[in-house]
Chain A
């Protein structure tokens, strides 16, 4: 039995969704209202290593219209550099090269896509990510504000990356972006997302979702760098269904926010599909980072490679859960994981859970994980050559991360990740 208070909250939530999205077709509005109920019905996610109860997430207002961005010069400059810019959850700019349009690429804000290509949105929205999987995902499903929509036609290869900026200013409270990316047969595309926010005293809640659909033979590089301010509490979920002989490459760089709970999932549901995933994280001060990467092998002869490298300092805490999940029937599949953590402080803590869940015998699965300190002998050697200790540590951190960061095939993204690392080292 719902109490009077519950009914009141339900009504408020429904009303808010209806007001904010009154332009949307019925099927989508019904979806939002259903997920609003799911959001209210679900408890806080119970994460063994990430207690959420004390973070007072329920005090962050969600039923408020996010303010318009204050147009500062630096922000204006920043936004010029990207194809799609979002501020406080709203799309403020879209710039598409004519050559892409000529090739038939559809690049829209999600809100526009709902109006102009409704059949594509309806066909794919919610097919990669289950919006009922936890409370914050349901919140995104119910109240997502806007995001990137991309459709790449068959055999089209984009020469330049599609760049996206998510910016939150100090007034923003809840930012809920939603992306949907469809790469048709044998197409090839690179997408790079940046998450930035203005430091502020009040907490902000981010729940972001990205769904990627790769058709037969498509190749996708997806990069994301998260450098949000410490007051941000972030829940991110990304998923990709990988078509026959298609390849998804994840490049995830996690540096900011006070709390991050992030998951990326590759669903290898067609033969020959491949997932390559790299996660670089760097925890400092009292950050809490909880990452999950999942490679789910359903079809035969699918391949996955999962790599994570983390640097931990100060009182930061990280959890990296890697799951190589080979289902029955996925014969000839090959899934591997490699996790490495460099510990810079005694007060930091890093947990790793590299799991292999195997239901098939004609497969190969392996993982290797390690954690260790900066090597004293190396420090000594570098210092004997005249370097200060911080410089020596900096070189060691660079050397530790170089094999994965330098493997990022996208020059600008690679540079951005290095810049983020440098900022973290200096902090």
Chain B
């Protein structure tokens, strides 16, 4: 027993290795007008994008730091490196990718997953997407899956029509920062009536110390289409902080359905401050499946604006906070049309002194008649060093709606533990089984390979949870 526990506890953040200095161009630390102009110049962007960036920078400087959520005191914007170019060119095959970077993605299992079950892969390393592929048959159906920088060159009209319309720079300080210095991210366009039945995957890797990664993703699902976008992320462990601040905008048109799955496993020195928002039109469905395991502090509240009659929104999330981690996560559902429905299921686990916060909003605007929302938040606190807050906001401005919200905060049930240990399981095994059951509503929604990965991650996180 003692030996088992020893070996279990020794398992650490698996992706904490780094590749040394592999970039071909690395900015100095700090942010100024010059930084933004230089990024735009390197990317040879049109003037409207430079103007957009510079305006966003002004907004960023003007906006105060949020006074709520996690502790942002140790985040110093002057220490961050805002742009690192990892390679000269983007690869269309893995052979085109520099060896060190390719080895990293091999270690992360990306090429293997691509061969097995993905529609396409985008691999971002530092500021740029270094590898991009899409299955030919999907390309022939008219699906566009590329990085956002390429999209700005190749599909300028579509991009300009939607870019920044869902999350304007004025939305919040970190959206403004992203808008000013964005680089990389995915651009997905699914034409009318087209179904992409296998997931498209983006993988984000930070390598350098004090790196700031600011990918920008825009997804447009035309009428009656379907797509599933999956993202994962990891970073090396450094003693100083890195910043990941993404913006994800999604437009789901009439009758379309989009699913966006995240398995966030940043190293425990990464600030993960992300704005994710979708708009769903008539009878459209938007689903966020959001797993937060890593990072030092995550502040992320995926939202769905239900703008068309009959639109549906779903957020299914888990958050695991371990030592020195704070997962401040949640969801927002804005019901702005009749007959819209939303579901939020949130599962949080805090342990080893970690803190989870569920922070959510359900809003019913006037005229959202016959809309319904159901929110369920459950939290497990594994030990007496860990804490959890549940702060759900509901705003009802229409009489003809139904809102239900439930939440619980508990420890692992003594009765369940007793039952399982009386059947011969060790306390560790029993606890793990209970935790796996607790998060099962989440893992069962993941693609198979991710579910396996998620279970493995949770298992890592749970080890040493008792004692």
Residues of A within 8 A of B (CB): 328, 331, 341, 343-374
Asked if B262 is an interface residue, CB under 8 A from chain A, the answer is no
Asked if B433 is an interface residue, CB under 8 A from chain A, the answer is no
Cα(A354)–Cα(B381), bound, Å: 19
Q: Given that A359-B387, A361-B411, A364-B410 are known contacts, is A373 also in contact with B401, CB under 8 Å in the complex? A: yes
Q: CB distance A358 to B381 under 8 Å?
A: yes
Cα(A381)–Cα(B229), bound, Å: 48
Q: CB distance A361 to B384 under 8 Å?
A: yes
Q: Given that A341-B396, A357-B389, A358-B381 are known contacts, is A369 also in contact with B405, CB under 8 Å in the complex? A: yes
Asked if B154 is an interface residue, CB under 8 A from chain A, the answer is no
Option from B383, B386, B403, B405 in Cβ contact (under 8 Å) with A367 = B405
In B263-319, which residues have CB < 8 Å from any A CB? Answer: none
Contacts of B407 in A (CB 8 A): 354, 356, 366-368
- Interface of A, helix, strand, loop or mixed by DSSP: strand
Q: CB distance B400 to A351 under 8 Å?
A: no
Q: CB distance A343 to B411 under 8 Å?
A: no
Option from B381, B390, B404 in Cβ contact (under 8 Å) with A361 = B381
5 closest cross-chain pairs (CB), A and B:
A361-B381, A343-B399, A365-B409, A356-B390, A349-B397
Q: CB distance A372 to B366 under 8 Å?
A: no
Contacts of A363 in B (CB 8 A): 381, 409-411
Chain A minimum-CB-distance residue to B383: A361
Interface centre among B382, B386, B398 (most CB of A within 10 A): B398
Q: CB distance A354 to B383 under 8 Å?
A: no
Q: How far is the CB of B363 from chain A (nearest CB, A)?
A: 9
Chain B minimum-CB-distance residue to A348: B399
In B403-439, which residues have CB < 8 Å from any A CB? Answer: 403-411
Cα(A359)–Cα(B388), bound, Å: 6
Cα(A182)–Cα(B262), bound, Å: 55
Q: CB distance B390 to A344 under 8 Å?
A: no
- Interface of B, helix, strand, loop or mixed by DSSP: strand
Q: CB distance A354 to B405 under 8 Å?
A: yes
Q: CB distance B384 to A360 under 8 Å?
A: yes
Asked if B224 is an interface residue, CB under 8 A from chain A, the answer is no
Q: CB distance A367 to B394 under 8 Å?
A: no
Q: Given that A355-B391, A358-B388, A358-B389 are known contacts, is A347 also in contact with B366, CB under 8 Å in the complex? A: yes
Q: Given that A343-B399, A347-B366, A371-B401 are known contacts, is A358 also in contact with B387, CB under 8 Å in the complex? A: yes
Cα(A363)–Cα(B402), bound, Å: 30
Q: CB distance A351 to B395 under 8 Å?
A: yes
Cα(A339)–Cα(B437), bound, Å: 29
Option from A343, A356, A359, A368 in Cβ contact (under 8 Å) with B398 = A343
Contacts of A368 in B (CB 8 A): 404-407
Asked if B155 is an interface residue, CB under 8 A from chain A, the answer is no
Contacts of A362 in B (CB 8 A): 384, 411
Option from A346, A353, A364 in Cβ contact (under 8 Å) with B393 = A353
Cα(A374)–Cα(B406), bound, Å: 21
Contacts of B168 in A (CB 8 A): none
Contacts of A360 in B (CB 8 A): 381, 384, 387
Asked if B379 is an interface residue, CB under 8 A from chain A, the answer is yes
Q: CB distance A349 to B410 under 8 Å?
A: no
Contacts of A344 in B (CB 8 A): 399
Chain B 168-185: CB-based contact to A (< 8 A → 1; otherwise 0): 000000000000000000
Contacts of B384 in A (CB 8 A): 328, 331, 360-362
Cα(A45)–Cα(B410), bound, Å: 34
Contacts of B111 in A (CB 8 A): none
